[in-house]
Amino acid sequence: MAEDRRPFPADEWEEALARELETLRKCQQDRNVTSCMACPEILECEIRKRYVNAVYESMNKGTGGGFEF
């Protein structure tokens, strides 16, 4: 496995994001798609919703605020 080259350790939000990304990638692999856009369940997908929320949380580091499309 590649060495982690970040100058600082991962925080709780980055760790949560990494977990959700792994779950998302496994789902895509299981469904034989390379993108959520190719999945017919994209609009109702809880895995994708959790991933998008984890991305937002990793960006704002838990400072709050809304996030809606």
Model confidence over 11-56: pLDDT tens digits? 888 899 999 999 999 999 999 999 999 999 999 999 999 999 999 8
Residue 58 identity: S
Tell me the pLDDT band of 8, cut-offs 50, 70 and 90.
Answer: low
Residue 55 identity: V
| Helical spans, DSSP H, in the chain | 12-31, 46-60
User: What number of CA atoms fall less than 13 Å from residue 37's CA on the CB side?
Assistant: 1
Report the pLDDT value the prediction gives residue 69, as an integer from 0 to 100.
45
- Three-state secondary structure call for residue 21: helix
Tell me the pLDDT band of 5, cut-offs 50, 70 and 90.
Answer: low
